[in-house]
Structure 1
Amino acid sequence: MAADAPPSSLRDFFADVDDREVSLVTVNRTHPQPVQDLIADAFATQSVELSERSLPTDADDLLALREDGDVTAVSSLDRVMRSFLLVNADQFRTSTRGFDGDVPAVLTNMDGTLFDLRGYPASNKEKLLLILVSRHVERLAYEAGEGTLRSTFQRLSRLEDEYGTRTVYERLTGRALDVHVYGVPDERPTWLDATVHGGTSDEYRNSWCVAYRPPSDSGAESTPAALVAHQKEPNRWKGFWTYDAERVARIDAYLERAF
């Protein structure tokens, strides 16, 4: 998609995603083999290779992200286990688990990679990656405390039915943020201090977007971020996320115009 061409759908943004060579490496693993297997299973259907190395360092049980041969992020394997490998996606819906815990950098730094992710029962972990990145974008917006946040929910009733999601958005709307939520209007969240948009088009029913755009005068402290995903078939999502300010601005503008 040319930089000056307006997108005709969310899926047009997928054409902008480069084919990056991303891989994960466990370093000096002392955890048992099932931990390595959990990482392998989480990315088994993606273009993310997993390998293992022993290095002469004092640190054990690390997970490193490599992009085009360079290490771009390192996280402790324990942290990846607590936040991803040993977590059930239902915890984000039914509990108070929100965005207070940092998402490991080896996951958030996979921006610009196009994923094809399945939900349960096809996979226990793939879709969880989108949930974690959604919470990461929401946390960036919350910490900045200003700017615009746009989130699509497929069904607006999710803001009523999912306690964890409701809690997150109650906190977000308590900040000086311009929050917009989108979805099929099966149940409108009248309690939410946000701009609510209802629709029944394919993109309302099948999009998963969280886009945070800081105000133009916010300076370097606010990080723009956007997750864009589309449900290509039931419980199977194609998507990516980005921190590129220009790309985030285009995603924000599309959501404002087309939804």
Structure 2
Amino acid sequence: MLTLRRYIDRLNAPPRTLAVLERGPEEPTHRMLAGLFDEQAVEVEVATTDLPDAGGDAVALIEDGDLVASSPMADLEEAILFVNSDLYTTGTRKLADADLPEVLTRLSDARFSLRGYPLAHKEKLLLIAVSRQIELRAYRAGSGTLRSSFQRLSRIEDEQGTRRVYEALGSTDVDVHVYGEPDANPAASMPVTVHEGYGDGYSDSWFVVFRPDGASGADAAGATDADAERDDGGAALVALETSPRVWEGFWTYRPDLVADIDRTIRESL
């Protein structure tokens, strides 16, 4: 039995705030950002004074009172605020464009509860964007192991953008494993290993896990946050559908946790 729930239940991220550094009246993008994280474990507020090293027209990530990252507001607009999930599923947004601002990637190891359409229009997009960013890491690394679940395997072929991503991954030496209910056989058209089934792990899970070649849990010893989040490093997104179109999950760049999640999936499915 797959036990991904235990990883979500163990999360203990510190309090975090996204501080919008505005130079005039409240901008619509501030309201959009606040709406994206409404009811999440991340506060969104307007910074009343400049924060050192954050720059202007930016969003700063504050953790335990310290500035840990900042990104231009324009980068957040392009990455998530002014886009929708159709850009990913149709392939309008290319794999090479899947980089995310640092203030989003540094929200790792925090629990999110997000709703999909039609319950909400933007919330699930956060998980979609992080998933694509992890796939981009695997593509850039050119080797290693990627494990991705789709609930229904037909999504890989039916969603043009998703198909293009996994065809691109097939041109590398990445060992790609896909998981889901067996309503299609993507292995017939691309070099992937298919794991099919129903129920726990196949029907209710959403995970994208990348482990570079040579990675091990021991890599965590002495690793800094910057080391863990480097572009070619391992990463994992784990989410569970707790009710129809409602997802609870997180993402991480911690080598020890990525290794543990990868091992659990490999041994259970």
Do they superpose with TM above 0.5? yes
Quote the residue 2:204 is aligned against.
206
Alpha-carbon distance change, 194 to 33 in structure 1, aligned in 2, over 3 angstroms? same
Partner Cα distance (2:105, 2:153) in 1 = 26
Amino acid at match of 2:122: K
Partner Cα distance (1:31, 1:208) in 2 = 39
SS in 1 for 2:189: coil
- Correspondence 1:25-44 to 2 at 5 A: 25-30=19-24, 33-44=27-38
CA contact (8 A) 1:31 1:61 kept: no
Q: Deviations over 1:8-47 (max 9, x none)?
A: 5111111221142011001134585321110111001101
CA contact (8 A) 2:148 2:177 kept: yes
Partner Cα distance (2:215, 2:205) in 1 = 30
Quote the residue 2:260 is aligned against.
250
Quote the residue 1:223 is aligned against.
233
CA contact (8 A) 1:145 1:176 kept: yes
Amino acid at match of 2:247: W
Partner Cα distance (1:117, 1:176) in 2 = 33
Partner Cα distance (1:8, 1:71) in 2 = 37
- Correspondence 1:148-227 to 2 at 5 A: 148-189=145-186, 190-216=188-214, 222-227=232-237
CA contact (8 A) 2:149 2:180 kept: yes
Amino acid at match of 1:34: P
Alpha-carbon distance change, 225 to 75 in structure 1, aligned in 2, over 3 angstroms? same
SS in 1 for 2:198: coil
Alpha-carbon distance change, 30 to 157 in structure 1, aligned in 2, over 3 angstroms? farther
Equivalent position to 1:240, from 250, 254, 258: 250
SS in 2 for 1:176: coil
Q: Deviations over 1:208-236 (max 9, x none)?
A: 10000111169977301100000001111
Alpha-carbon distance change, 194 to 32 in structure 1, aligned in 2, over 3 angstroms? same
Q: For the aligned residues, what is the CA RMSD?
A: 2.0
Quote the residue 1:52 is aligned against.
46
Alpha-carbon distance change, 128 to 227 in structure 1, aligned in 2, over 3 angstroms? same
Quote the residue 1:4 is aligned against.
none
CA contact (8 A) 2:234 2:258 kept: yes
Partner Cα distance (2:3, 2:178) in 1 = 18
TM-score after normalising by structure 2? 0.88
Unaligned segments of structure 1, at least 5 residues: 1-6
1:141 aligns with 2:135: no
How many residue pairs match? The answer is 253
Alpha-carbon distance change, 204 to 55 in structure 1, aligned in 2, over 3 angstroms? same
SS in 1 for 2:180: strand
Partner Cα distance (1:21, 1:246) in 2 = 22
SS in 2 for 1:55: coil
CA contact (8 A) 2:215 2:255 kept: no
Equivalent position to 1:94, from 90, 93, 100: 90
Equivalent position to 1:67, from 49, 63, 68: 63
TM-score after normalising by structure 1? 0.92
